[in-house]
Amino acid sequence: MDLPREFEERMKKLLKEEYESFIKTYNEMKTQGLRVNTLKIDIDEFLKISHFKLNKVLWAEEGFYYKEEDKPGKNPYHEAGLYYIQEPSAMAVGTLLNPQPGDRVLDLCAAPGGKSTHIAAKLKGEGLLVANEIYPARSKILSQNIERMGIKNCIVTNESPQKLSMKFKNFFHRILVDAPCSGEGMFRKDPATCREWSLDNVSMCAQRQLDILEEAQKMLMPEGILVYSTCTFSHEENEGVIEKFLKKHPEFTIEEVKGFEGFSHGREDWILSEELSLRKTIRLWPHKLKGEGHFIAVLKKQDGEEGKIKNNRKKIDKKSLKYYYDFAKQYLQNPLEGYFILFGDQLYILPEGVPDLEKLKVVRPGLHLGIIKKNRFEPSHALALSLNYKEVKNNIFMDADSSEIIAYLKGESMYFDGKRGWNLVSVDGYAIGWCKIANNMLKNHYPKGLRWVGL
């Protein structure tokens, strides 16, 4: 692999006798993993129904390595949100953040959504997740992944850290800053990052990371946990950033992480620091475990005041919800209830505990129920993926290895004997989308942008 010469020289100087073991990993295959979505299926059940050749990821109970021939990205279970394809080392971040059901959690740099969806699974549908991404195109990808995994208690924002910190002062129990970085740990996974690497970029990233952390700490409540992570080996972006942050914020301390085989301690000696607590930070090396490069620091805020955020939202007039309740009465066992809001003609249920979102750019303000059109309600794909077949009156069941499910995912209509009207389509019992039945004809409502092509 053609690595930047300056990078090789730096790593040789820093790693010394470890360098040969490290550099050999670039001639090995990249690691590939998936994480079971426990919001939809328990781990044992997934292992029963999937035909993948899986091996356990030691630091994530939901995580598994897969084989290239499994091709999990083109599988109906993937479209049903039963798992998320995620690099194995990256799974350690959600494990160490360790959110608890009921927590308010912020993922500040969230796209494409691997860590956000991991957080949501650990919240078990309770509490609030704010998943933010500053770049609009990436925030839409993030929103799509939140939808696919059937997450109900998440809002997706497209804001700067500075704008969010003005709204959410001392609000969150846990915050993740998976900071944009020089990407050295991903060279093997994404060789394109090699061409973008430079020492100037390393320095620029380090300053940007400090700026992001400065805004993040304003949003953490007392006794809260802030996890800082990167996918780079650069000490300037890792131990160097944490050292500077701690000097400015002595109310934060580094929490020690124990019990994970293959994790290495931070390298305070690389930045000539006298701050020995930097050894409590975590490095994941590709020559010491089966994964790419990562750095993680678990920080705890010792003091401060808990924020108080007012909510001045007005409730929707029940008359505006008539067509939704008509749909729910006809097709759902029970209507989904909560704090309803309308974005134009799009109907959402906000997660509990969400403050006023005024003046924020919001991509997804909660669970998208559907669209209220003239004299009718049309359910969303997000609603389908948030349900299970027992919550719906009309169901179409397809097998994962059937020609019917492939035809459905390609957007085709077909003859099908089912109950007239809206039906939830499920693959092996797990919701994958909507269809409408009329005169034994299945009209396909799988979203056009998600349809399979070329199969």
Cα–Cα distance, 93 to 79 (Å, whole number): 24
Cα–Cα distance, 88 to 385 (Å, whole number): 25
Cα–Cα distance, 148 to 449 (Å, whole number): 13
Element (H, E) at 166: helix 161-167
Candidates 154, 181, 194, 231; catalytic one: 231
Q: Does domain 388-455 have CATH number 2.30.130.60?
A: yes
Domains 5-301 and 388-455 share a fold: no
User: Number of helices (H) and strands (E), helices first, in the chain?
Assistant: 14, 23
The string of pLDDT tens digits covering residues 397-450 is: 999 999 999 999 999 999 988 899 999 999 999 999 999 999 999 999 999 999
Is 115 annotated to bind a ligand? Reply is yes
pTM here is: 0.96
The string of pLDDT tens digits covering residues 72-122 is: 999 999 999 999 999 999 999 999 999 999 999 999 999 999 999 999 999
Instruction: State yes or no: cis peptide before 112, omega within 30 of 0.
Output: yes
Q: Residues near 270 by Cβ (< 8 Å), separated by ≥ 6?
A: 14, 235, 239
Q: What is the pLDDT of residue 448?
A: 96
The string of pLDDT tens digits covering residues 108-127 is: 999 999 999 999 999 999 99
Is 112 annotated to bind a ligand? Reply is yes
Give the pLDDT mean for 182-200: 91
Is 63 annotated to bind a ligand? Reply is no
Report the CATH architecture of 5-301. 3-Layer(aba) Sandwich (3.40)
Element (H, E) at 241: helix 239-248
For tokens 């290239």, what's the residue? 68
Is position 231 annotated as part of the catalytic site? yes
What residue ranges do the domains of the chain occupy? 5-301, 388-455
Backbone angles phi, psi at 328, to 5 degrees: -60, -40
pLDDT higher than 80, residue 256: yes
Is 194 annotated to bind a ligand? Reply is no
Q: What is the pLDDT of residue 353?
A: 85
Is 81 annotated to bind a ligand? Reply is no
Is 181 annotated to bind a ligand? Reply is no
